Structure 1
Amino acid sequence: MREAYREQLDAVTGRLIGMTRKANEQMRWASTALLEAELALAEKVVAADPAINRDQLEIDEHVIELMATQNPVASDLRFATSALRITADVERMGDLTVHIAKIARMRYPDHAIPAELRSTFAAMGETAVRMVDKAGQVLRTHDLKVAAELARDDNEMDQLHRSLFLVLLDDDWSRGVEAAVDIALLGRYYERFADHTVEIAANVRYLVTGEIR
């Protein structure tokens, strides 16, 4: 009986990893749509997001059912708490990619990103994809060294985010208020996406060690 129970918990972990892969894919599509003004990719992100929402609901219901019908020990309860938090984080990450895609779609056929900021947003997209990759790896391996790397990666994202405001607040900014609002929102979406990967790592750390940050 307990062996079957452990297999079900492992299956939940597999589904959590699958959610991070979907968020990864949506971030790659959204970043390309933003940088290349590709309407089809922007629409693809919006259309794909309900799958992550369904995953969250199904996983949450399954975890609650497992905890209610089995005799969970302390580590099982930590697993349940972590899983419920992680599904919420990844669902929100999916939403953030949709926000990025919708700005790309709204400005189509123009580019939402001015030429002078394209390299910064390309770096933000690459950092975001790398971070969600690592989040999935931490879920799979419980490697706390990789979990710690995400905090350093988050610092990199924060620096990129701050660099946007140096441009926006410069007296030479000539793109107008509308473009400035787009840039500020987009920067926030990437920064928050990264924050959620750090939260995933923190929840895995709690699962493994029982320690709360």
Structure 2
Amino acid sequence: MREGFQDDLGRLHGRLAAMSEGAAEAMRGATRALLAADLRLAEQVIGADSELDDLRSSCEEEAYSLLALQSPVAGDLRMVLAVVYCAEKIERMGDLAAHVASMARRTHPDRVVPAELEPVFRELGEATSHMADRVAELVRTGAKGGHAELSHEDETVDALHARVLATITAEGWEHDQRTAVGLTLVTRFYERFADQTVSVAKRLDFAATGDLPA
């Protein structure tokens, strides 16, 4: 019974890691679509979001089945409940990547990001997708300490977010209000994506140790 439970839990972790890898790839694609005004790529990212929705449903169904049939306790119970919590957060990460892609689609053939801000958004895309990849590694390996690591990376995303806001509110801003509003929305999507990875890492640390990181 115990061995079978661990096999089932391992499969759950595999699906959760695949979700996070999918979210990372979605953010990479969304960023490329955003910077290149690539309508086809934007639509691909938006269309693929349903796959993460399906994986979340599958994770939840299997987790609830384990709870009902195996009645796990202590660390095992924390692990199963963590899957349910993290699947929701990672699905939200996919939604946020799709929102970035939707901005590219909405403004096509115009570009959302002015040339002078392209390097900042490129950094945002790289940082957030790396954070999602790191979450997948933490899920697969069961490594501890991910919350502190990703919280540090989240500070980088916050700084980039602040740089965008400072640029579009400066007196020398050369573009119109519509552009500023669009950039405010998009940079917020990146910032929230990063926040979700930190939430996932925090729950994974709790599941592994029984102590909730501060």
TM-score, structure 2 as length reference? 0.97
Q: In structure 1, what is the Cα distance between the partners aligned to 2:143 and 2:51?
A: 28
Q: In structure 2, what is the Cα distance between the partners aligned to 1:145 and 1:69?
A: 31
Q: In structure 2, what is the Cα distance between the partners aligned to 1:140 and 1:61?
A: 20
- Tell me the matched-pair count: 213
Q: In structure 2, what is the Cα distance between the partners aligned to 1:138 and 1:147?
A: 10
Q: Residue in 2 aligned with 1:99?
A: 99
Unaligned runs of 5+ in 2: none
Cα offset, 1:145, TM superposition: 3.9
Q: In structure 2, what is the Cα distance between the partners aligned to 1:147 and 1:211?
A: 12
1:76 to 2:76 alignment = yes
**Aligned residue type for 1:210:** G
- Cα deviations by residue, 1:42-70 (Å, 9 ceiling, x for unpaired): 00011100010011111101101110111
1:186 to 2:186 alignment = yes
Q: Residue in 1 aligned with 2:133?
A: 133
Q: How does 1:48-87 map to 2 (within 5 A)?
A: 48-87=48-87
What is the SS of the residue equivalent to 2:171?
coil
Q: Tell me, yes or no, if the aligned pair for 1:89 and 1:200 is still in contact at 8 Å.
A: yes
Unaligned runs of 5+ in 1: none
Question: Taking every aligned residue pair, what percent have the same amino acid on both sides?
Answer: 38
Q: Tell me, yes or no, if the aligned pair for 2:146 and 2:205 is still in contact at 8 Å.
A: no
Note the aligned Cα RMSD (angstroms).
1.0
Q: In structure 2, what is the Cα distance between the partners aligned to 1:154 and 1:71?
A: 36
**Aligned residue type for 1:85:** Y
Q: Residue in 1 aligned with 2:27?
A: 27
Runs ≥4 residues deviating over 6 A = none
